[in-house]
């Protein structure tokens, strides 16, 4: 069993799995149960102090895809609607009971120095191991000048982070919104404001869909709806990209990251960590299957590390140096699809996909025995991967490297006159 | 049909029950959506299976039903009675992955039931073209032909000697696959397309055969097969000895308690799918022992392997390589079936084994030894060519040697599936249309 304990911006936890600030961390009861089940940390559902929080009754909507429930998920639920003193007391009690688990308190108050100072002190007094500034929520609270309304303006992000750091005695993470043109700007602003780390991504602006019987948008509140925050497995690629952007940006490269966005299993966690995250935060998968998923999250990462003889620290950021600009990629790296005829079941999906959706590089024929026979036309294959992606049989279509005598050559090399391109298929 | 709770416990519960939406979506999404799909190629009516399944996955049930029913007007029946294990599902590429094939039959039922049993109109008939076609019989072949022609604007009248239409689909298929009420509901839906069915009207008896050729532009003959002939052994006239098809029809049209076989023992003679149906039905009606008596080995049985399995699961006892010799009786009622063991030689010939007689103590004997042909009826059609086994000779469009007479279904094939009959009826309709409208 690999050692999974980790430190994120100075916040220690027995494993890198934290519950994200969301409905699963609404109460001390839930957080205690989660720690009991094995979660390393929990980011308490966002506290505030000021205007009361009142929620709609209908709050969540799901994107189902091809029979899979909750591929994507959105919500219009606001931050905690429980009294501040109740939350603080529960934080204190849970922390006392689970001293080794990380409790990070998510915060969102009106944009005044006093309000921020006050809630930061109260949270620290309750025993918070860290603070997470919620500059991310795209719905509801943003209309009141909080959440993503702050995160979308780098100056606000820096300013409030500075205010917080004036009184903070524990590490401060800034939670970033993906609803910006370039996530590196708010990340830099957080760093400039003194943030100890960043958490990302928060949810994405979304309309999850309509009820086709009534044409009402979902989640439907008395026939109306509002844009909500989108998350779940479907957002992971967007989150991975944003995490990698911060990890590869020279200005923020060493800023600790708590990765968030569609983490549903241990493999997702490995990806976030390899792209630079120190910890990962999970919400939708827990809302779908409960706290018990932590067992396989830890077990899977542990087995992965053990099989490679690798430590969690060695995994962290291991893939960052492989993320490059397109113009730096090697244009002379040639691959072709290879169909293993012994494994082929004759579904013809590769043929249809290549014929209609790619480069007409697969030949198909109905054989005498009634089976559909497919074969790759090597002269036409551009190695795009599509056939191997649609093939339903494990290992039936593989992308095989075709060695050539040409040196590596990128677009940069081509345009600077420093490289020679290998010949490639010509399409009339 | 019993209420839902009753269905689950009834011995006549559906063999392939209706899926709910959740189950249908999971199953529909398992479908790979093959190119040049082998399931479609295996379907006698060439239903575009990937297309209708994709539509189910996307909640387009009406579109899905249209794909099925455009290809096969009795798609709701075929969803239940087709030997899908041998046809579409048997061809599914998932077999190569050692996975269960897609449950195409059940998905087809999921898509078609709401339309067909809900009596929802789906197709529009063309305006009347002034031409009339008569169908002899109102079984699957005639219905396939009539539905196609009605949609093309023909006035179609199907003359049926039984009191209800549908032929074997209504009367001759085991109840847990196809029940009486469902068969009739489907035909009620087909009739909405403009198909006129006159029941209790036997052509050649209640209405002269010649009048059809006088009053109609074309005639389609879908008369199927006759009853099961006598085997030719002593005792066949005893009370309790019956044609297996009559037994199945009785069970389907009368309250089940009236045909109960509780406490009785039954022997079914034959090795085809009707024999299997009789075995399973007898067993589900409470029979204590049900024997299937067949002259040859299991490998030679006409019944599909999955059907044999069904019969075995229902407790059927297979008595193989045994020929019936005599039905024994007492006071005019069956008390046993005397059999003799047989031996097959290398050429497939059969000979009795001397001194191997044995008696099965049974109260009922059902013969399912193959249906006879309507030879006498065919003789009324001057110039009609029939092969040496009594089957009507027709080209692939169903055209016979008699002018303006088309045919299809079991009277041509000698006995195939409902889906084959529908396909042949439909092809004949297209040929009739080409011939009549082409001549215009």
- Helices A113-126, A84-97: crossing angle, 10 deg rounding: 30
- Note the CATH architecture for domain A327-416: 2-Layer Sandwich (3.30)
Mean pLDDT of B12-18: 81
8 Å CB contact between A190 and A101: no
Q: Do A347 and B57 touch (CB under 8 A)?
A: no
Mean pLDDT of B53-72: 96
Which residues, in sequence order, are CB contacts of A350 under 8 Å at separation 6+? A337, A339, A362, A374, A386, A387, A388, A390, A391, A397
- Note the CATH architecture for domain B132-226+373-439: 3-Layer(bba) Sandwich (3.50)
* B29: number of Cβ within 10 Å: 18
Alpha-carbon torsion, ordered B8, B10, B15, B16, to 10 deg:
-30
HSE-CB at B429 with a 13 A cutoff on CA atoms is: 29
User: Shortest Cα distance from B360 to chain A (angstroms)?
Assistant: 46
Cis amide bond preceding A219, omega within 30: yes
Q: Do B93 and A352 touch (CB under 8 A)?
A: no
Distance between CA B226 and CA B414 in Å, rounded?
11
ipTM of model over 0.95:
no
* A121: number of Cβ within 10 Å: 13
Task: Please report residues of A whose CB lies closer than 8 A to that of B41.
Answer: 370
Q: Do B35 and A393 touch (CB under 8 A)?
A: no
What are the tens digits of pLDDT across the range B129-179?
A: 999 999 999 999 999 999 999 999 999 999 999 999 999 999 999 988 999
Q: Backbone dihedral region of B286: left (phi > 0), alpha (psi from -120 to 50 degrees) or beta?
A: left
Check residue B9 and give its pLDDT. 46
Q: Which of B306, B344, B382, B254 is nearest to B101 (CA)?
A: B306
Which residues, in sequence order, are CB contacts of B117 under 8 Å at separation 6+? B76, B182, B185, B186, B189
Q: Which two tokens stand for residue B19?
A: 């899926």
Q: Which of B137, B157, B190 is nearest to B410 (CA)?
A: B137
Radius of gyration, alpha carbons of chain B: 22
Distance between CA B269 and CA B275 in Å, rounded?
7
Whether CATH 3.40.50.2000 fits A6-322: no
| Strand intervals (E) in A144-231 | 172-175, 197-200, 204-206, 210-211, 216-217, 228-231
> Pick the catalytic residue: A6, A137, A350, A387?
A137
Task: Please report residues of B whose CB lies closer than 8 A to that of A370.
Answer: 38, 41, 91
Please provide the DSSP assignment of B370-400 as one string: -BPP-HHHHHTSTT--B-TTSPBP--TT-B-
Distance between CA B67 and CA B132 in Å, rounded?
27
Residue with tokens 């299937």: B292
Q: Which of B148, B32, B74, B24 is nearest to B417 (CA)?
A: B74
Q: Which of A366, A319, A326, A368 is nearest to A347 (CA)?
A: A366
Residue with tokens 């490297």: A401
Tell me how far CA of residue B50 lies from CA of B42, B47, B95, B312, in angstroms. Answer: 13, 9, 16, 33
Q: Which two tokens stand for residue B215?
A: 């009053």
8 Å CB contact between B416 and B82: no
HSE-CB at A211 with a 13 A cutoff on CA atoms is: 13
- Chain centroid, CA B58 distance in Å: 32
Alpha-carbon torsion, ordered A220, A224, A226, A232, to 10 deg:
20
8 Å CB contact between B342 and B351: yes
Of B32, B57, B97, the CB nearest to A349: B32
Check residue A25 and give its pLDDT. 98
What are the tens digits of pLDDT across the range B376-428?
A: 999 999 999 999 999 999 999 999 999 999 999 999 999 999 999 999 999 99
Task: Please report residues of B whose CB lies closer than 8 A to that of A66.
Answer: 29, 57
A355, closest residue in chain B (CA to CA): B35
Residue with tokens 């997702």: A268
Of B29, B35, B93, the CB nearest to A66: B29
Interface probe with A: pick from B37, B38, B42, most Cβ of A within 10 Å: B38
Which residues, in sequence order, are CB contacts of A296 under 8 Å at separation 6+? A265, A266
Between the two ends of chain A, the Cα-to-Cα distance in Å is 57
Check residue B4 and give its pLDDT. 43
User: Shortest Cα distance from B309 to chain A (angstroms)?
Assistant: 27
CATH of segment(s) B21-117 = 1.10.1060.10
- Helices A154-167, A184-192: crossing angle, 10 deg rounding: 30
The boundaries of every CATH 3.50.50.60 domain in chain B are 132-226+373-439, 230-367
Distance between CA B88 and CA B39 in Å, rounded?
4
- Domain residue limits, chain A: 6-322, 327-416
Check residue A428 and give its pLDDT. 61
Q: Which two tokens stand for residue B209?
A: 């055969």
Of B26, B37, B41, the CB nearest to A67: B26
CATH of segment(s) B230-367 = 3.50.50.60
Check residue B10 and give its pLDDT. 61
8 Å CB contact between A132 and A199: yes
User: Shortest Cα distance from B61 to chain A (angstroms)?
Assistant: 14
Check residue B439 and give its pLDDT. 58
- Sign of the CA dihedral with A345 first, then A346, A350, and A352 last: negative
Question: Buried (b) or exposed (e) across B228-248, using 16+ Cβ within 10 A?
Answer: beebebebbebebbbbbbebb
B38–chain A Cβ distance below 8 A for any pair? yes
Q: Do B97 and A393 touch (CB under 8 A)?
A: yes
3-state secondary structure of A235: helix
Radius of gyration, alpha carbons of chain A: 25
Distance between CA A290 and CA A36 in Å, rounded?
13
Q: Which of B15, B107, B128, B93 is nearest to B57 (CA)?
A: B107
Residue with tokens 């044995």: B358
Check residue B184 and give its pLDDT. 97
Q: Do B35 and A366 touch (CB under 8 A)?
A: no
Alpha-carbon torsion, ordered B345, B350, B355, B357, to 10 deg:
130
Q: Which of A122, A117, A132 is nearest to A42 (CA)?
A: A132
Which range is least confidently modeled, A153-167, B87-101, B202-216, B253-267?
B253-267
Q: Do B29 and A67 touch (CB under 8 A)?
A: yes
Q: Which helix (H) or strand (E) holds A248?
A: helix A236-248
A399 exposure class (CB count in 10 Å sphere: 0-12, 13-18, 19+) = middle
Q: Which of A82, A108, A38 is nearest to A290 (CA)?
A: A38
* pLDDT in single tens digits along all 428 residues of chain A: 899 999 999 999 999 999 999 999 999 999 999 999 999 999 999 999 988 999 999 999 999 998 889 999 999 999 999 999 999 999 999 999 999 999 999 999 999 999 999 999 999 999 999 999 999 888 888 888 888 899 999 999 999 999 999 999 999 999 999 999 999 999 999 999 999 999 999 999 999 999 999 999 999 999 999 999 999 999 999 999 999 999 999 999 999 999 999 999 999 999 999 999 999 999 999 999 999 999 999 999 999 999 999 999 999 999 999 999 999 999 999 999 999 999 999 999 999 999 999 999 999 999 998 899 999 998 999 999 999 999 999 999 999 999 999 999 999 999 999 999 998 877 66
Check residue A137 and give its pLDDT. 86
Q: Do B38 and A370 touch (CB under 8 A)?
A: yes
Distance between CA B247 and CA B338 in Å, rounded?
21
Q: Is the pLDDT of residue B5 over 70?
A: no
A348–chain B Cβ distance below 8 A for any pair? yes
Distance between CA A25 and CA A43 in Å, rounded?
7
Check residue A145 and give its pLDDT. 87
Which residues, in sequence order, are CB contacts of B438 under 8 Å at separation 6+? none
Task: Please report residues of A whose CB lies closer than 8 A to that of B25.
Answer: 67
Distance between CA A43 and CA A20 in Å, rounded?
5
Distance between CA B59 and CA B56 in Å, rounded?
5
8 Å CB contact between B321 and B345: no
Q: Which two tokens stand for residue A12?
A: 């220690």
Per the DSSP assignment, residues forming a β-bridge with B339 are: B324, B358
The boundaries of every CATH 1.10.1060.10 domain in chain B are 21-117
B198–chain A Cβ distance below 8 A for any pair? no
pTM for this structure?
Answer: 0.88
Task: Please report residues of A whose CB lies closer than 8 A to that of B34.
Answer: 346-349, 372
Is residue A137 annotated as a catalytic residue, yes or no? yes
| Window 359-398 of A, Cβ < 8 Å to B | 364, 366, 370-372, 392-393
8 Å CB contact between A20 and A9: no
Please provide the DSSP assignment of A374-399 as one string: EEE-TTT-----HHHHH--STTTEEE
Q: Do A345 and B26 touch (CB under 8 A)?
A: no
Distance between CA B231 and CA B248 in Å, rounded?
19
Check residue B8 and give its pLDDT. 39
Query: Checking DSSP bridges between strand A102-107 and strand A130-134, what pairing results, if any?
Result: parallel
């Amino acid at each position: 069993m690999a050692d999974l304990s980790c430190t994120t911006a100075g916040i220690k936890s027995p494993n890198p799995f934290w519950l994200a600030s969301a409905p699963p961390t609404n109460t001390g009861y839930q957080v205690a149960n989660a720690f009991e089940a094995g979660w390393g940390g929990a980011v308490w559902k966002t506290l505030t102090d000021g205007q009361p929080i009142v929620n709609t009754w209908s709050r969540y909507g799901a994107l189902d895809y091809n029979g899979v429930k909750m591929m994507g998920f959105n919500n219009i639920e606001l931050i905690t609607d429980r009294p501040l003193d109740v939350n603080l007391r529960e934080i204190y009690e849970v922390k006392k009971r689970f001293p080794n688990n990380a409790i990070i308190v998510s915060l969102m108050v009106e944009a005044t120095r006093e309000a921020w100072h006050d809630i930061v002190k109260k949270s620290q007094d309750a025993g918070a191991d860290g603070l997470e500034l919620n500059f991310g929520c795209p719905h509801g609270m943003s209309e009141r000048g909080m959440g993503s309304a702050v995160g979308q303006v780098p100056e606000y992000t820096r300013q409030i982070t500075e205010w917080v750091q004036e009184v903070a005695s524990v590490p401060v993470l800034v939670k970033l919104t993906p609803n910006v043109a370039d996530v590196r700007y708010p990340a830099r602003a957080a760093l400039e404001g003194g943030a100890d780390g960043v958490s990302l991504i928060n949810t994405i602006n979304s309309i999850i869909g309509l009820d086709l019987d009534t044409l009402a948008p979902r989640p439907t509140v008395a026939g109306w709806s509002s844009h909500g925050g989108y998350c779940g497995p479907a957002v992971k690629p967007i989150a991975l990209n944003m995490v990698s952007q911060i990890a590869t940006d020279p200005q923020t490269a060493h800023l600790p990251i708590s990765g968030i966005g569609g983490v549903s299993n241990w493999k997702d966690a490995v990806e976030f960590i390899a792209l630079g995250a120190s910890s990962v935060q999970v919400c939708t998968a827990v809302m779908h299957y409960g706290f018990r998923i932590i067992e396989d999250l830890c077990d899977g990462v542990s087995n992965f590390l053990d099989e490679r003889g690798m430590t969690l620290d060695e995994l962290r950021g291991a893939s960052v140096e492989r993320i490059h600009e397109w113009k730096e990629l090697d244009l002379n790296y040639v691959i072709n699809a290879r169909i293993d005829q012994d494994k082929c079941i004759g579904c013809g999906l590769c043929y249809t996909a290549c014929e209609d959706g790619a480069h007409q590089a697969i030949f198909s024929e109905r054989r005498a025995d009634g089976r559909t026979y497919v074969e790759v036309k090597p002269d036409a294959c551009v190695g795009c991967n599509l056939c191997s992606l649609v093939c339903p049989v494990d290992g039936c279509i593989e992308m095989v490297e075709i060695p050539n005598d040409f040196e590596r050559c990128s677009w940069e090399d081509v345009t600077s006159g420093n490289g020679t391109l290998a010949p490639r298929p010509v399409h009339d | 049909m019993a209420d839902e709770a009753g269905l689950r416990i009834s011995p006549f519960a559906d063999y392939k029950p209706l899926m709910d939406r959740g189950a249908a979506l999971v199953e529909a999404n398992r479908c790979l959506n093959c190119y040049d799909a082998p399931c479609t190629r295996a379907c006698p009516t060439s239903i575009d299976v990937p297309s209708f399944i994709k539509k189910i996955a996307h909640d387009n049930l009406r579109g899905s039903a249209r794909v099925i029913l455009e290809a096969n007007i009795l798609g709701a029946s075929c969803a239940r009675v087709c030997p899908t294990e041998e046809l579409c599902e048997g061809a599914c590429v998932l077999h190569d992955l050692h996975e269960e094939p897609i449950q195409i039959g059940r998905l087809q039922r999921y898509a078609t039931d709401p339309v067909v049993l809900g009596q929802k109109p789906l197709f529009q008939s063309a305006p009347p073209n002034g031409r009339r076609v008569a169908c002899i019989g109102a079984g699957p072949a005639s219905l396939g032909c009539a539905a196609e022609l009605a949609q093309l604007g023909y006035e179609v009248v199907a003359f049926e000697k039984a009191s209800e239409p549908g032929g074997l689909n209504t009367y001759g298929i085991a109840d847990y696959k196809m029940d009486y009420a469902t068969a009739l509901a489907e035909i009620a839906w087909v009739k909405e397309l403009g198909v006129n069915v006159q029941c209790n009207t036997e052509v050649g008896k209640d209405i002269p055969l010649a009048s059809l050729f006088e009053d109609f532009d074309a005639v389609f003959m879908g008369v199927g097969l006759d009853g099961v002939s006598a085997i030719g052994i002593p005792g066949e006239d005893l009370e309790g000895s019956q044609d297996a098809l009559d037994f199945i029809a009785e069970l389907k049209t009368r309250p089940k308690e009236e045909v109960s076989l509780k406490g009785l023992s039954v022997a079914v003679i034959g090795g085809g799918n009707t024999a299997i149906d009789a075995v399973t039905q007898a067993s589900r009606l409470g029979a204590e022992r049900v024997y299937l008596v067949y002259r040859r080995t299991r490998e030679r049985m006409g019944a599909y392997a999955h059907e044999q399995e069904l019969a075995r699961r229902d407790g059927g006892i297979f008595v193989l390589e045994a020929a019936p010799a005599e039905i024994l009786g007492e006071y005019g009622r069956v008390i046993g079936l005397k059999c003799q063991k047989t031996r097959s030689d290398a050429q497939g010939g059969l000979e009795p084994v001397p001194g191997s007689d044995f008696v099965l103590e049974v109260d009922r004997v059902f013969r399912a030894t193959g249906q006879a042909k309507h030879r006498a009826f065919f003789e009324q059609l001057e110039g009609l060519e029939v092969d040496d086994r009594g089957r009507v000779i027709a080209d692939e469009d169903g055209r016979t040697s008699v002018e303006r007479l088309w045919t299809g279904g079991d009277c041509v094939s000698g006995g195939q599936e409902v889906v084959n009959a529908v396909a042949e009826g439909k092809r004949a309709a297209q040929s009739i249309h080409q011939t009549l409208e082409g001549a215009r």
